[in-house]
Structure 1
Amino acid sequence: MAKKKKTSNDELNVDWKDVARLMLTSRAMDEKEENELVPQKKVLYQFSARGHELGQILLGKHLTNKHDAASAYYRSRPLLLSIGLDLEDAMAAPMGKSGSYSDGRDIGVVCNKPDADAPKVLPMAGDVGSQYTPAIGWAQAIEYRRNVLKQKEYEGAIAVILGGDGSVATNGFWSALTIATTQNLPVLFYIEDNGYGISVTSEFQTPGGVITDNLRSFKNLRILEGDGTDPEEAAKLMEEAVTLVRERKGPTMIRLKVPRLNGHSYQDNQAYKPEDFVKEEMKRDPLVKLKEYLVPNKITKRSWTTMENKAKKVIKETAEAALNRPSPDTSTIKKHAFADDLQTIGGLAVEGHEFPESSEEPKPEKQRINIVEAIRRTLAYELETNKKLLVFGEDVGLKGGVHAATMDLQSKYGEERVFDTSLSEEGIIGRAVGMAYAGLMPVAEIQFRKYADPATEQLNNCGTVRWRTANRFAAPIVVRMPGGFAKCGDPWHSMSNEVFFTHAIGWQVAMPSNAEDAVGLLRTAMRSNNPTMFFEHRNLLDAKYARKPYPGDDFVVPFGKAKYLKKGSDVTIITWGAMCERSEQAVEELGVSADVIDLRTLMPWDKDACLESVKKTNRCLIVHEDNQTAGFGAEIAAFLTKEAFQYLDAPIERLTMPDIPVPYNVDLMESVLPNVQSIKEKLELLSNY
């Protein structure tokens, strides 16, 4: 039987008095900032929510499951107020005061809300469109916990994404839309259409200026739209939208037209808007319309005035209290780039996940295996022993990965745990971040280093989220990424560029040179409370040099602990990845007595081992495949120059790729890669200095 359509306004089940209170509070906050705090330079960045409040507050009141999560953006403070954001925190954050949701580290309206027993607001970001794909990961985690882990408390939980009409042009929007609709996830897209992306009208963001007109052919997508300034219409549409998603009718998009009554930010005077348009916008003020809707039929005029005055009084007092908060403690500002204390939300550690026992002592089998098999066996063991671990990426399912590292894992562990993704690196990484927020351990594969470029925004945000939220949120994920030269080179598949990730805040970087270390480092990464970039060198995947016996299911390699490949007295070679083999061979052919150190991890890296060796040998050669300028070798050289200056008998030398891409032709490639001969020449130069 079809449900009876609601006709009475009273059936909307809306606490209109509280909606009014929240709107008046939000408006009072904006007015306090715009009229006093910003001119007085007590708030340095301000993004007004004027005109956007009604839909956000109505939506917030529908977030009732403790596993609901909203992924919003910098104009979304009314949403947070509606689900219980502390007023003093909300006022203190734009002032850069202590406490609140970032302890003065991030822009004040870039909020988050990590309550364990209440709906969450995922960490916002200052870049447009990056809020979409993490919410998709959260939605998929809801389904995984509900369907696979059989956790009934996730029944009916949803993910909500808030975005302006400008954000629909971003990679994140389209990637999230594709994943949500192809996987039929419990996601609500709420598009607040104010007609402008800063100064650029919607026609430049999407054909015709109305995104929903372009999406009606999308399978599995329900579309609702209307006036976000009309209380009754907005309330009905929002209730319908949330109900559709909660009842698993499929992903839904609600687009509400709203005015942006102030500039994009305080500094924006909106001179680009025609005067008549601005006047029309002011007539559509949702606060004015709410008052007209409520007074006198639902609230007396006196009650409205009382609420309005009270909101202004409360915000005045709250602002004073916020101003009296101390500035953040400068002595703690370096904390939380990496895990030190346990975060509130994100990763396995929060729920007290226990791993099998581990050991740094290998228990080698008789047969040698290559790195591909080492990775496959390590993934399989962790999948077997950790039900919260998922492996995904392009072609990792039936195909088993383009490098065969995930072969047969899907057939053994199922499509829910080992699965293919759409061709969107933004979606792969953003989804992984959302899953990590939801307490899973995502192991995402990017097929080649160069292909990670579209995901740079998500990778950077993942690394900084612990620091940006003052340890409220963290996203421990593992990204497996092959790269480097192989049987030939080329600019697209052979890029190394590992230094990029050592410079990315919050990321661990592992680069194994052999199968044994690949097992130990990958296992450590999958049990870590930090995000890890796990670099798989293409030339080593099946190389004879890299083959080692499987070291056992409990074997781990701690990050930041280098390995001596050779020990000697005359020179130190510091290297990693595919250059280990070439460095060892050069030492053997030249007959020099050398320490050959395989760093194994670049973040963190074993400074003590390198320093100890150089103090002994008094000479140092750094060999790496990445380009020379600002390569990681420069960091090592700078450290050793300072810390071992008095021990050096020769300048520190670097041997690297020149500052060009890797050529395709094999002879051209070998002419520019560090090779045995060029390493020998550098060693002779150092010996004769």
Structure 2
Amino acid sequence: MRKVDDSVYDWTRVASLLLLSRELDELEEKVLAPQRRIFYQFSARGHDLAQILLGLKLTDAHDAACGYYRSRPLLLALGVDPEDALGAAMARAGGYSDGRDLGVVFNHPNPGGPTALPMCGGVGAQFTPAVGWAQAIEYRRNVLGDQAFDKSIAVALGGDASVATGGFWSALTIATTQPLPLLFFIEDNGYGLSVPSSYQTPGGNIASNLGSFQGLRVLSGDGTDPSLCSSLIHDAVEYVREHRRPCLLRVDVPRLQGHSLQDTQAYKSAAVMEQEWQRDPLRRLFDGLVPHVLSPAHWADLQERSKARVQGASEAAQARPVSDPGRAATHVYFEGTVQHRGGLWAEGWMPPKTSEQPSVTGERINMVTATRRTLDHELSINDRMLVFGEDVGAKGGVHAITLGLQEKYGQARVFDTSLSEEGIVGRAVGMALAGLLPVPEIQFRKYAEPATEQINDCGSMRWRTNNRFAAPMVLRMPAGFGRCGDPWHSQTNEVPFIHSPGWKVATPSNAEDAVGLLRTALRGNDPVVFFEYRALLDASSARRPYPGDDYALLFGKARKVRSGTQLTIVTWGSMVERCEDAIESRSVELIDLRTLMPWDREAVLLSLQKTRRCLIVHEDTQTAGFGAEIAAVVAAEAFHDLAAPVSRLAMLDMPCPYEPTLMAHALPSVASIRARIDRLVGF
């Protein structure tokens, strides 16, 4: 074994951290897990040395690493307290999540030092947020001129199985085409749980397969050899810092325990496991340091100190209470206490003063112009706001909403992306965590499906980190039918976003509301899905005068379109126009919800006290559509006010047809709405 380089690492510190990591694993496996004081355990044995060497090289205040469930040694190197680590494993109060998330799913705001971005439970979900942080570094460095980011980098850690995921390839594409200062740190232990690396990438070596990948430096070597591994990590980190370009470092490591504590490793032979233990990096570190760098007595002292520290941490962690169940539902949304990291508010930004009163001037404009004008104004007053997605740049978006914005604000602020919705939303998460305001666009609602994991992880972030982190953004997406339909471009389906805790959902039906809701979203402190209904983009019924640059609307406050006494219609988005046409000469109260998360149940229930009849109309399919939620609330809270059953009118339970006549048959029409009104009034 080559002699270790004393000029690059403090090897006493390395040894202390490695011994500390081993003691934590030992305690969990032999004491806490058998005593059922922890519920999940993922040993880092074999991976630990390489992670510690990496963590000690992350020294810039704006460095960030996004790890995965086996990344605790990295966190220890970044300064995480073992008491917090064990407290999280035991699901006790405080710590990373206040008992809300798996103990191995870490986060570490670390003010003034490198950040450990909130980890995710899904394999490969860590890559695109890391690339978003890297892009934010370059934006703050090159566009905002902040020299504090000149040497900052992002790191994404993953096992060998993660290289098969869409998140990995999306991040790789973004990092190499931009290019961006991102280190891909791949810990190859030969198995994705029980599945060999050869199932993840041909030949089982991602470094070999990416050797000719343009724009990417590729390094690979033994992650258990202290001298070689430290040299590789030093070279990789310094390359990314100096050249501002991505690097992939694959370290070959053994996984000395099962995938988790419950994994018996029956898929490995005894000979294979023996070979793995022969490569134990702790043993190799001992051989490399003792007696040349550390005396045997010094090593033994480090061991005793690690045991004592872990024992003390265990006692302190066990003394922590279980979090108050009454607080379990806090921090799903911003509640007034600003998160430690993420978004503009966490860095002291305060939104400009707004008004709920429109200043009506000028001619009526359509939804496209209203949305574009709002984006334009907010871009002009907020240099941390970025708009991006497929075709939003020179083309101006497939619906022309971003037309001219790139020309006005430049490609760094309004830009096109690669064709990966996971990459669009995931990078937005990383940008938001780094203090920017990302405004990503999904070209059509149906195309959001590949981004589902990133959307869900973003929404749950504030809650699962107990308000340590949040990723406020505005996710714009056109939805619903146009001149024709089809199963791919005409889907509405707002429900998954409403069902994803942490997201607010805006559904404007006219230009004035679009301005007010979009401005509130852009100046808020929560992630927002902003629907742009295709049928309304140029509809004359949706046109309104521009309500002013200060106009903003509260979420959860419905608009009473028309008063009436015989029946209440509850609707939103594209169906508002049709309902207005249907209620002519009828005494019907029409309520436009405007937002679905939160939705204004008080306005609906108050209206029903007067009309005693309820019809819910929406563009989405009926079964399990959001109308079912409204109907359930009405049935539970207004049952004694009702003079007729709650009724729903929605699209047939089928994909939206392409041919216009077939599409018209599937959707609620003016005639069908009118007929349902008459039936309910006559009940």
Classify the secondary structure of the residue corresponding to 2:155: strand
Q: Is residue 449–residue 483 contact of structure 1 (8 Å, CA) maintained in 2?
A: yes
C-alpha separation in 1, matches of 2:373 and 2:209: 46
The aligned counterpart of 1:416 is: 412
Q: Partner amino acid for 2:395?
A: K
C-alpha contact (below 8 Å) 1:190/1:254 kept by paired residues: yes
2:596 maps to what in 1? 602
Task: Find out whether 1:107 has 2:98 as its counterpart.
Answer: no
Do the aligned partners of 2:605 and 2:638 also contact (CA within 8 Å) in 1? Answer: yes
User: Which of the numbers 605, 609, 612 marks the counterpart of 1:611?
Assistant: 605
Match of 1:491 in 2: 487
Residue number in structure 2 paired with 1:529: 525
Contact 1:12–1:236, Cα closer than 8 Å, also in 2: no
Alignment partner of 2:262 out of 240, 259, 267: 267
Superposition deviation, residue 317 in structure 1: 2.1
1:248 counterpart = 2:247: no
Choose from 612, 624, 629 the match for 1:635.
Answer: 629
Q: Match for 1:319 among 314, 317, 321? A: 314
3-state DSSP class of the match of 2:362? coil
Distance apart, 1:365 and its partner CA? 2.1
2:344 to 348, 351, 357: 348
Q: Which letter does structure 1 place at the counterpart of 2:102?
A: I
Which residue of 2 is the match for residue 652 of structure 1?
Answer: 646
- One-letter code aligned to 1:171: G
User: Scaled by the length of structure 1, what TM-score is found?
Assistant: 0.98
Contact map agreement 1:356 1:385 (CA 8 A) in 2: no
CA shift, 1:421, in A, is 0.3
1:432-471 counterparts in 2 under 5 A?
432-471=428-467
Aligned partners of 1:467, 1:639: CA distance in 2, in Å?
Answer: 25
2:144 alignment partner in structure 1: 149
1:289 to 284, 287, 295: 284
Instruction: Report what 2:617 is aligned to.
Output: 623
Superposed, which structure 2 residues align to 1:332-411 within 5 Å? Answer: 332-340=327-335, 341-411=337-407
Match of 2:184 among 174, 186, 189: 189
Letter in 1 for 2:158: G
Aligned equivalents of 1:127, 1:61: Cα separation in 2: 26
Q: Distance in 2 between matches of 1:141 and 1:629?
A: 41
Is the Cα–Cα contact under 8 Å of residues 23 and 287 in structure 1 kept in the other structure?
Answer: yes
8 Å CA contact 2:4–2:288 kept in 1: the answer is no
Structure 1 CA distance for aligned equivalents of residues 218 and 3 of structure 2: 23
Q: How far did residue 8 of structure 1 move?
A: 7.5
Q: C-alpha separation between the residues in 1 aligned to 2:103 and 2:4?
A: 37
- Secondary structure (helix, strand or coil) at the match of 1:247 reads helix
CA distance in 1, matches of 2:369, 2:111: 40
Cα distance in 2 for residues equivalent to 1:601 and 1:108:
35
Asked whether the equivalents of residues 571 and 616 of structure 2 are also in contact (C-alpha less than 8 Å), the reply is yes
How many residue pairs end up in the alignment? 681
Answering whether residue 539 of structure 2 is matched by residue 543 of structure 1, we say yes
User: 2:658 aligned with 1:661, yes or no?
Assistant: no
CA shift, 1:152, in A, is 1.0
Residue 3 of structure 1 corresponds to which residue in structure 2? none
- Displacement of 1:327 in angstroms is 0.7
Cα deviations by residue, 1:31-61 (Å, 9 ceiling, x for unpaired): 0000111011001100000000111101111
Contact 1:618 1:648 in 2 (8 A): yes
Any idea what the Cα deviations from partners look like across 1:622-681, whole Å, max 9, x if unmatched? 000111111111111111111111111001100011221111111111111001111011
Alignment of 1:115-130 (within 5 A): 115-130=110-125
In the alignment, which residue of structure 2 is the partner of 1:574?
570
Which residue in 1 is equivalent to 2:158? 163
Per-residue CA deviations over 1:425-451 (Å, capped at 9, x if unaligned) read 000000000000011100000000000
Look up the SS of the partner of 1:554 in the other structure.
coil
Matched, 1:676 2:678: no
* In 2, Cα distance between equivalents of 1:628 and 1:20: 61
**SS across alignment from 1:402:** coil
Supply the distance in 1 between the matched residues of 2:3 and 2:179 (Cα, whole angstroms): 32
What secondary structure sits across from 2:263 in the alignment? coil
Q: CA deviation at 1:261?
A: 0.3
| Structure 1 residues 79-118: aligned runs within 5 Å | 79-118=74-113
Farther-moved stretch of structure 1 (640-649 vs 486-495): 640-649
Within 2, Cα distance between the matches of 1:380 and 1:249?
31
Contact 1:355 1:386 in 2 (8 A): no
The aligned amino acid for 2:634 is L
Which residue in the other structure is 1:26 paired with?
A: 21
String of CA shifts for 1:188-244, please: whole Å, max 9, x gaps.
Answer: 110000010000001100111111111122111011111000000000110000000
Kindly provide the amino acid, as one letter, of the partner of residue 221 in structure 1: L
Q: % of aligned pairs identical?
A: 59
Q: Distance in 2 between matches of 1:242 and 1:20?
A: 21
When normalised by structure 2's length, the TM-score is 0.99
- Listed one character per residue, the Cα deviations across residues 380-413 of structure 1 (whole Å, up to 9, x for unaligned) are 0000000110000000000000110000100000
1:280 aligns with 2:281: no
Q: What is the rounded CA distance, in whole Å, between the counterparts of 2:329 and 2:628 in structure 1?
A: 23
The 3-state SS of whatever aligns with 1:406 is coil
Residue type matched to 2:496 in 1? F
Structure 1 residue aligned with 2:295:
300
The 3-state SS of whatever aligns with 1:663 is: coil
Q: What residue in structure 1 maps to residue 230 of structure 2?
A: 235
Q: What is the distance in 1 between the residues matched to 2:5 and 2:469?
A: 39
Quick check: 1:75 aligned with 2:90? no
* 309-318 or 485-494, which deviates more: 309-318
How far is 1:9 from its partner?
A: 4.2
Equivalent position amino acid for 1:279 in 2 = E
Q: Report the equivalent of 1:563.
A: 559
- Could you list the per-position Cα deviations for residues 498-527 of structure 1 after superposition, in whole angstroms to 9, with x for gaps in the alignment? 111111110000011111111111111101
Query: Following TM superposition, by how much is the alpha carbon of 1:91 offset from its aligned partner in structure 2, in angstroms?
Result: 0.8
Contact 1:12–1:235 (CA under 8 A) maintained in structure 2 = no
- Relative to structure 1, the CA distance from residue 233 to residue 12 in structure 2 (aligned partners, 3 Å threshold; closer, same or farther) is farther
| Cα shift readout 1:282-329 (whole Å, capped 9, x = no counterpart) | 000000000010011111111111211221222122112111111111
Alignment match, 2:220: 225
Aligned partners of 1:282 and 1:356: how far apart in 2?
60
Q: Distance in 2 between matches of 1:579 and 1:289?
A: 69
Contact 1:165 1:205 (8 Å CA) reproduced: yes
Find the aligned partners of 2:572 and 2:196 in 1 and give their Cα distance.
Answer: 50
Matched-pair contact (CA < 8 Å) for 1:165–1:194 = yes
Whole-angstrom CA distance in 1 between matches of 2:469 and 2:4: 40
CA-based RMSD of the aligned residues comes to 1.0
Greater displacement, 313-322 / 368-377 = 313-322
CA distance in 1 between partners of 2:537 and 2:243 (Å): 43
Distance 2:214 2:399 in 1: 33
Aligned mates of 2:350, 2:462 — CA distance in 1: 22
- Give secondary structure in 2 for the equivalent of 1:99: coil
C-alpha deviation, 1:10, in angstroms: 3.8
| Structure-1 separation of matches of 2:480 and 2:324 | 43
Letter in 1 for 2:321: P
Partners of 1:417 and 1:408 lie apart in 2 by 12
Aligned-partner Cα distance in 2 for 1:569–1:25: 72
Q: SS state of the match for residue 133, structure 1?
A: helix
Deviations 1:561-591 (A, max 9, x none): 1001111111100000110011010001xx2
- For 1:160 and 1:10, how far apart are their aligned partners in 2? 23
Classify the secondary structure of the residue corresponding to 1:279. Answer: helix
CA–CA separation in structure 1 for the residues paired with 2:148 and 2:138: 11
What one-letter code is carried by the residue in structure 2 that aligns with 1:388?
R
Q: How far did 1:11 drift? A: 5.2
